[in-house]
Amino acid sequence: MLRTTALITIAAMAAGAANAETLRWARAGDSLTLDPHAQNEGPTHTLAHQIYEPLIIRDTKGAFQAALATNWAPKADDPNVWVFKLREGVTFHDGSEFTAEDVVFSFERAKSETSAMKELLTSINEIRAVDDYTVEFVTNGPNPILPNNFTNLFIMDKGWTEENGVTEVQDIANGETTFAATNVNGTGPYTLVSREPDVRTVLEQNPDYWGIEEFPLEVTRIEYTPIQNAATRVAALLSGEVDFIQDVPVQDLGRVAETEGLVVKTAPQNRTIFFGMDQGSENLRSTEGNPFASAQVREAMNMAINRDAIQRVVMRGQSAPTGVIMPPFVNGWTPELDTVPEVDTEAAKALMAEAGYAEGFSVQLDCPNDRYVNDEAICQAVVGMLGQIGIDVNLNAQSKALHFPLIQNGTTDFYMLGWGVPTYDSEYIFNFLVHTKDSERGSWNPTGFSNAEVDAKIESLASETDLDVRNQTIAEIWEVVNGETLYLPIHHQVLNWGMTEAVGIEVSPEDDPKFKFFEMN
């Protein structure tokens, strides 16, 4: 009788798991804020996608799919205008109606100075509501790829934002916190139940979601727990404490895949890992003078880094070494640009000597320890490699919440960064990472690199409709970027998602699971 009762209990538990009303989700780091325009960062966008919505999303294969807009096209009689038709009958979580007024407000907010998303909108001169469900975007010349820029531009409720005093975007780089950083009112498939940053976030399915008949929506509750420690994160999956982790450590892939009831799904990611250097300052913060101002020093560093060794030893094969800070998904990528620099320690030492640094120099390397796959371990490996050419690197590894403001505020000498390209076009990389840092562009470019001719070419991309001419301009910009050794590319990242067999989803190249797509077995 006891045995029968136990079997019934186990069967009931299994049925509950199969129904999977609750999905327990973990990854290395948390969202940095709930303000949807304050930080252009993958985990932050991933959480936002469950609560807020853009006009267009990318599906699990990276293709466009209608979200709050149902269709979009250039205006027939004016190529400088894109017309977006909005979805009718949509409400925000508090019941207020979604209209064109909210779209205009949200895009104007995202264009503001403290927004991390403004580089995506530099070609827009005016945003106007034609009626409650039609919005026109007026651009500075025809912009053939404008919709590509909208997939992470989330729409806020204008009334809610005004009532709560958060019309201004949170200045996250300078430590500001606001009501919008901890509270939400979106149109998305899930509503916020509770939020403890870096501890636990709970979401529940929105019963009034417009897409309730269009998507599987088999996950009705999400319990999100950031677990920075790799061993602890894997242990949580192995023990059944969580159902889904985004970042299975490379050293544990076999262990997870071989565990009954668990699966690992792998795919190339639309993201490249690289290092940047302050080349413009007269004096660095961590050393006298500025060795990085020398192109010879930068080239020597590029030659000293053994990407293949990092792939074999640190990443255990789970990376694709590269010579460009652009993943293969992106328009502008070529096999020639992707060629991995040859390792030549002796030639690198000779370049260091020619630059006046035969005895080397010391510098601090700032590195995150909870953002990219094996980020701190990659940094440790590079420290050793640069040591072979006389560069004494002091590693400062810390949480991404502390690391990213160093880059955004330009208070780092030498740093790691990973860059994904949600637009699938080189213009996105150039706007954020190459253009001279000013009020509109270059917010993630603390290198000090500034080239007026390159800036003009970058700005021309937003209105060039001849794609052959546009692609030639892109190639010319990449020639300068690589020729100057502006950055030190390392590899394209590979994604490894670990999950129970009950979870039915394929890996997205954007590393942004949208739980409304999840089907539970």
Cα–Cα dist 494/372, whole Å: 10
CA-CA-CA-CA dihedral for 162, 165, 167, 173, to nearest 10: -160
CB 251 within 8 A of CB 229: no
Burial tier of 18 (Cβ tally within 10 Å: 0-12, 13-18, 19+): exposed
Contact between 102 and 369 (Cβ < 8 Å): no
Looking at the chain, the domain(s) classified CATH 3.10.105.10 span 269-494
Q: What is the mean pLDDT of residues 213-227?
A: 96
The tokens describing 35, both together, are 């303000």
DSSP one-letter string for 100-124: HHHHHHHHHHHTSTT-SSGGGGTTE
The DSSP bridge partners found for residue 134 are 85, 131
**What does the pLDDT read at residue 198?**
96
Q: In terms of C-beta distances under 8 Å and separation of at least 24 residues, what long-range contacts does 143-148 make, across chains too?
A: 143/82, 143/462, 143/463, 144/464, 144/465, 144/467, 144/470, 145/423, 145/425, 145/427, 146/82, 147/55, 147/56, 147/64, 147/72, 147/82, 148/422, 148/423, 148/424, 148/425
Range in 2-16, 82-96, 243-257, 496-510 the model is least confident about? 2-16
Reported as a single tens digit per residue, the pLDDT across 230-241 is: 999 999 999 999
What does the pLDDT read at residue 2? 33
Placement of tokens 């990376």 in the chain = 319
* Residue 15 predicted with pLDDT over 90: no
What CATH architecture applies to the domain 269-494? Roll (3.10)
Residue 124: predicted pLDDT: 97
- Give the span between the Cα atoms of 63 and 58, in whole angstroms: 5
> Alpha-carbon distance 79 to 77, whole Å?
7
From 8-12, 217-221, 415-419, the region with the lowest mean pLDDT: 8-12
Q: What residue has token string 């060795």?
A: 291
473 Cβ contact list (under 8 Å, min separation 6): 457, 460, 461, 464
Domain boundaries 30-190, CATH class: alpha beta
Give the amino acid at 413: D
User: What pTM value is reported for the model?
Assistant: 0.93
Overall size of the chain counted in residues: 521
What is the reported pLDDT for 194? 98
Per-residue pLDDT tens digits for 66-103: 999 999 999 999 999 999 999 999 999 999 999 999 99
Band (pLDDT 50/70/90 cuts) for residue 10 is very low
Q: What is the pLDDT of residues 340-358, one digit of tens each?
A: 999 999 999 999 999 999 9
For domain 194-268+495-520, which architecture applies? 3-Layer(aba) Sandwich (3.40)
Stretch 126-141: mean pLDDT:
98
Euclidean distance between CA atoms 41 and 34, whole angstroms: 12
Report d(CA 460, CA 457) in Å as an integer: 5
CA-CA distance, 513 to 516, in Å (whole number)? 9
Confidence (pLDDT) at 61: 85
Residue ranges of the chain assigned to CATH 3.90.76.10: 30-190
Q: Are 243 and 503 in contact (CB under 8 A)?
A: yes
Q: Mind spelling out the 3-state secondary structure of 123-169?
A: CEEEEEEEECCEEEEEECCCCCCHHHHHCCCCCCCHHHHHHCCCCCC
Q: Quote the CA–CA distance of 506 and 497 in Å, as a whole number.
A: 9
DSSP state of 18: H
CA distance 164 to 446: 33
Confidence of residue 521 (pLDDT cuts 50, 70, 90): confident
- What's the pLDDT tens digit per position in 449-474? 999 999 999 999 999 999 999 999 99
Q: What pLDDT score was predicted for residue 313?
A: 97
Strand partners, 265: 497
Tokens matching residue 17: 């798991």
What mean pLDDT is reported for the chain?
94
- Mapping DSSP to helix (H, G, I), strand (E, B) and coil, where does residue 276 land? strand
Residue 521 burial (10 A CB sphere; 0-12, 13-18, 19+) = exposed
Query: Which pLDDT value is given to residue 100?
Result: 98
pLDDT in tens, 147-171: 999 999 999 999 999 999 999 999 9
| pLDDT for residue 422 | 96
pLDDT of 48 above 50: yes
**Where is average pLDDT lowest: 3-17, 387-401, 461-475, 490-504?**
3-17
Residue 244 has pLDDT above 70, yes or no: yes
Residue 16 — very low, low, confident or very high, per pLDDT cuts 50/70/90? very low
- Six token digits for residue 63: 């293709």
Average confidence (pLDDT) over 304-324: 98
Q: Residues spanned by CATH 3.40.190.10 within the chain?
A: 194-268+495-520
Buried b (16+ CB within 10 A) or exposed e, 146-175: bbbbbbbbbbbbbbbbeeeebebbbebbee
**255: helix, strand or coil:** helix
What pLDDT shows up at residue 445?
Answer: 98
Measured CA angle at 275 (ends 403, 269), to 5 deg: 90
**E strand spans, 328-381:** 361-368
Q: Where are the alpha helices (DSSP H) in 249-332?
A: 253-257, 295-304, 307-309
CA angle 441, 326, 459 (to 5 degrees): 30
Q: Of 58-62, 224-228, 343-347, 494-498, which range is least confident?
A: 58-62
The two tokens of residue 355 are 């630059």
User: How do residues 280-292 score in pLDDT, each as one tens digit?
Assistant: 999 999 999 999 9
pLDDT at 62: 86
CA angle (480, 486, 283) in 5-degree steps: 130
Structure-token pair, residue 125: 């001169």
Q: What are phi and psi of 473, to 5 degrees?
A: -65, -40
Q: What is the pLDDT at residue 60?
A: 86
Indicate left, alpha or beta for 485 from its phi (over 0: left) and psi (-120 to 50: alpha). left
pLDDT of residue 345: 98
Question: With 50 as the cut, is the pLDDT of residue 146 above it?
Answer: yes
Q: What is the DSSP string of 8-25?
A: HHHHHHHHHHHHT-EEEE
